[in-house]
Amino acid sequence: MSLYYSFTKWTVTPPTPRTWTGIGNYTDAFTNIFFRRAAVTSIVMTVTAVVLSVLLGTLIALLLDRKFFGQGFVRTLILTPFLIMPVVAGLVWKNQMFSAAFGVLNWVLNQVGIESIEFATKYPRWAIVGVLVWQWTPFMMLIILAGLQGQSSSVLEAAKVDGASPRATFFQITLPHLRPYIELGVLLGSIYLIQVFDHIFVMTGGGPQSTNIPLFVYQRSIGGGWRFGSASAFSIVVVVATIILATFGLRVLSGLLEGEEA
Amino acid sequence: MAEVRFEAASRIYPGSETPAVDELNLDIADGELLVLVGPSGSGKSTALRMLAGLEFIDKGSVYINDKDVTLSPPQDRDIAMVFQNYALYPQMTVASNMGFALKQAGVPKDERRKRVEEAARILDLEPYLDRKPKNLSGGQRQRVAMGRAIVRSPQVFLMDEPLSNLDAKLRVQTRTELADLQARLGVTTVYVTHDQVEAMTMGHRVAVLDHGKLQQVARPRDLYSKPMNRFVAGFIGSPAMNIIDVERHDGVLQLAGQPVPVEMSTADALASTDGSSFGLGVRPEHLALIGDGGSGIAGEVTVVEELGSEAFVHVATEHQGERLTLVVRDEGETSTQRGDNVQVGFNGPTHIFGPDGERVGS
């Protein structure tokens, strides 16, 4: 249905008859400055959020991959952000962390003598990326921790006997072992984060810095634009892009399963 | 070339009262292949890992070439280890696996390549240098693990059950190759196994451990013919030695009513030992089935195990009011059958152990 609409010009307010436009909406997608801006925002947000959460997730996984008192409790605590609904996460960060009047972050800044910053307004894109990283780090941590625990301890001991420093062991043995796990995390994270909507909707409601494609499609259609034809075309572009990503990802997954046979 | 010395070395795992390795004293000569053998939980692997530096030494010390390495990390001990599961680096090729330690030591690439190829030639691994471990068979992986150790020309080889993941036939073949390789390279080797056949066939000397304590260390032949206590007697030899609690009547040990033959010196030693309960050990080949009319221990055959070259006959008899099964070696083409009534006689040395389980004599 969407596919059909994407080849038409269809505006609901004021009601006008639906007319066939062929690939007009698609060429429009690539020339429309707003769509392009939204695409850049989508890519920048996704890439930075994924990269940062993988880095942080790896770091935390390495820390958690050792025995200590209260291990299970700490792991559960660290996992919680991932379990929180996106809308709730967005609201909590907007009102309780970032807010200039009531935010915890600004309170901390004030304590050290720095004036309040309205994060979500001044740096909308990075504020949202921050929340996404906060939510997705636990997920990455979980996948990478699973990878770490799947590593045979005697391989690490062999490296020790072979005279490898902890640094060399990490970069030459542990990291290559983690590669498929990291790839999986990056893939799943990307697929999900490219579709992020809730956080942006509740935190900034969109804007030049923070409107990504899903939000833009929303604005074009039921969010006030009511131009379903071009909105359909935009969303189809995103779906195609996501499918390409997912196909790529399935290959990674099968590679991971192959590795297990060793 | 190196000598290895354990001096009252102990390892007590956190949370455990009893030491996993209890005051181990052991001298290993330069170029020697010493086998540590024992059942699961005997501490043999722990002892090896203490020497490797992978296990903390709680008490005592370990020396390599008179240098105290008790607190040295593994990389400072100049040792190479072969692990039970080989512990190959899965993402690296065979060549990189073998050259890894050299790379860490900063050996230039050309020389690394040369030494890896040399080791690969010794181990017939040349066609596989560019493969990943997962594309190798079990035996090839085992050889890569060996190659990784010999490339480094270390002071000491440590081997932790390196053959236990191979199938039976390959294990026997690799066992011989390994012993031959060790003799050619002349590198001091400590070899851990739970398989007493492996221990006996490979070791220049064999150290038997049980519950973290060293029971006996001796040449395989001596271990077999002169076990120092009941544990060693029962552990070494296949099928196992018959070990029976016997009592002394009128100064003579008796098995199922029959006197047990002992040497003169043993009889003297027995005379000066208190207690009436002793352990009698006798290997299946030192018992024999004797024809009718002989005066032996009467019993009934319950099982006949025919192995071709020999047969083991299980004879049920009564000893001190309880049922007792003796294993007797018989010739390969035995005519003995289950249900036969037979007589068992002594046909070789016996081993007598005191009430404390220590050897009295034979």
Q: What pLDDT is attached to residue A251? A: 78
A95: CB partners within 8 A, 6+ apart: A102, A103
| Mutate: best of A161, A171, A173, A257, partner B, most B CBs <10 A | A161
Q: Which of B123, B115, B121 is nearest to B139 (CA)?
A: B123
> For residue A72, is it within any domain?
yes
Question: Dihedral through CA B255, CA B259, CA B264, CA B265, nearest 10?
Answer: 20
Residue A211 within a domain: yes
Helix or strand (DSSP H, E) at A192: helix A175-193
Distant-in-sequence, close-in-space partners of A106: CB < 8 Å, separation ≥ 6: A98, A99, A100, A116, A117
Q: Is A31 left (phi over 0), alpha (psi -120 to 50) or beta?
A: alpha
- Look up the pTM and report it: 0.80
Distance CA B56, CA B58 (A): 6
Task: Say how many CB pairs under 8 Å bridge A and B.
Answer: 71
What's residue A261's pLDDT? Answer: 42
Of the candidates B73, B87, B132, the beta carbon closest to that of A158 is on B87
First-residue to last-residue Cα distance in chain B:
39
The answer to whether position A104 is within a domain reads yes
pLDDT, greater one: B199 or A20: B199
Write out chain B residues lying below 8 Å of A177, CB-based.
90-91
Q: Can you tell me the distance from the alpha carbon of B212 to that of B11, in angstroms, rounded to the nearest whole number?
A: 9
User: Over 60: is that where the pLDDT of A260 sits?
Assistant: no
Q: Which of A155, A164, A179 sits opposite B87 (nearest CB)?
A: A155
A45: number of CA atoms within 13 Å, CB side? Answer: 32
Ordered strands of the B252-255 beta sheet: B258-259, B252-255, B242-249, B277-282, B351-353, B359-361
Asked if A82 and A145 count as a contact pair (C-beta separation under 8 A), the reply is no
Integer Cα distance of A212 and A194 in angstroms: 8
Long-range Cβ pairs for the range B136-140 (8 Å, 24+): B136/B94, B138/B165, B138/B166, B138/B167, B138/B170, B139/B166, B139/B170, B139/B174
User: Could you read off the pLDDT tens digit of each residue along chain B, which spans 362 residues?
Assistant: 689 999 999 999 988 888 999 999 999 999 999 999 999 989 999 999 999 999 999 999 999 998 999 999 998 899 999 999 999 999 899 999 999 999 999 999 999 999 999 999 989 899 999 999 999 998 999 999 999 999 988 999 999 999 988 888 889 989 999 999 999 999 999 999 999 899 999 999 999 999 999 999 999 999 999 999 999 999 998 889 999 999 888 878 888 888 888 888 888 888 888 877 899 999 999 999 987 667 788 899 999 999 989 999 999 998 888 899 999 999 888 888 898 889 999 988 999 998 888 898 88
Q: Is residue A242 part of a domain?
A: no
Residues in A touching B87 (Cβ below 8 Å)? 152, 154-155, 157-158
Q: Is A245 a member of any domain?
A: no
Q: Give pLDDT tens digits for A52-101.
A: 999 999 999 998 888 888 888 888 888 888 888 888 888 888 878 887 77
Cα separation of A115 and A5, whole Å? 50
Residues from chain A that touch B104, judged by Cβ atoms under 8 A, are 162-165, 168
Domain range for A72 is: 32-220
Return the closest-CA partner of residue A3 out of A25, A33, A36, A27.
A25
Neighbours of B22 (CB within 10 A): 19
CB atoms within 10 A of CB A243: 11
Residue A158 inside a domain? The answer is yes
What pLDDT, on the 0 to 100 scale, is given for residue A223?
67
CA–CA distance, B148 with B286 (Å, rounded to integer): 45
Q: DSSP labels for B322-352?
A: EEEEEEEEEETT----TT-EEEEEE-S--EE
Q: Which residues make Cβ contacts (< 8 Å) with residue A201, sequence separation at least 6?
A: A87, A90, A215, A218
What is the predicted pLDDT for the residue at A179?
Answer: 87
Ramachandran region, residue A159 (left: φ > 0; alpha: ψ -120 to 50; beta: rest): alpha
Q: Do B104 and A163 touch (CB under 8 A)?
A: yes
B322-331 vs B252-255, strand pairing mode: unpaired
Q: Cβ–Cβ of A177/B133 closer than 8 Å? A: no
Distances in whole angstroms, Cα of residue A61 to Cα of each of A78, B240, B316 = 10, 50, 62
Within 10 Å of residue A154's Cβ, how many Cβ atoms? 18
Does some domain include residue A117?
yes
Q: Is the pLDDT confidence value at A262 over 70?
A: no
Number of domains making up chain A: 1
Residue A17 forms part of a structural domain: no
Comparing CB atoms, the residue among B73, B85, B101 nearest residue A162 is: B101
Which CATH number do you get for residue A205? 1.10.3720.10
d(CA A250, CA A202): 32
Return the closest-CA partner of residue A39 out of A192, A227, A31: A31
Would an 8 Å CB–CB cutoff place B153 in contact with chain A?
A: no
Q: Give the pLDDT band (50/70/90) at residue A143.
A: very high
